[in-house]
Amino acid sequence: MFSKEESKRLKQDFWISFGKSFPRKWTLYNTNIKGLTFKFHFDLKKAMVSLDVDHNSLEKRIELWEKLISLKSIIREDFLPESQFKDYFILENKKEISRIYLEKNNVSIHNKNTWQETMLFLKDTMESFEAFFEDYKDILNS
């Protein structure tokens, strides 16, 4: 069991190491499409890369989500075959969003032996998400 401080330090060490291993600017919040963001996540049980639709307007969120759903077969065939689509996903802060994501299970931010495979998963998955986004951002932004 790790103390809160040890856990915080491990998280910092992981993300610093990830940034040094793959020094590039990720799209993340810089999509230029309101309510559309990419996210990295790594905790005690899994790692995840997601494309979140979290527009404050439900109408706009649905509109953007429907565009993504119309591209679902392309996303799965050409970019992210294992991607999961959730129309409704509730965040820890109780906010409802829509999400496309991939997870890697059986890894832990507290286990440095899983860091390398997690870093590769995060990098490869985000690169695929970004490649999709570059090809289809005009459709999503219309």
Q: Report the predicted TM-score, pTM, of the whole model to 2 decimal places.
A: 0.91
* DSSP classification of residue 25: -
Q: What is the DSSP letter of 37?
A: E
Per-domain residue ranges of the chain: 4-140
- Tell me, what amino acid is at 104? K
The pLDDT of residue 114 is above 90: yes
Residue with tokens 């810089």: 30
Q: What is the pLDDT of residue 136?
A: 96
pLDDT tens readout for residues 78-108: 999 999 999 999 998 999 999 999 999 999 9
Q: How confident is the model at residue 69 (pLDDT cuts 50, 70, 90)?
A: very high
Helix (H/G/I), strand (E/B), else coil: 24: coil
Measured distance CA(100)–CA(125) in Å, rounded: 12
Percent pLDDT > 90 in the chain is 88
Per-residue pLDDT band for 142 (boundaries 50, 70, 90) equals: confident
Cα angle 70-74-77, degrees, rounded to a multiple of 5: 140
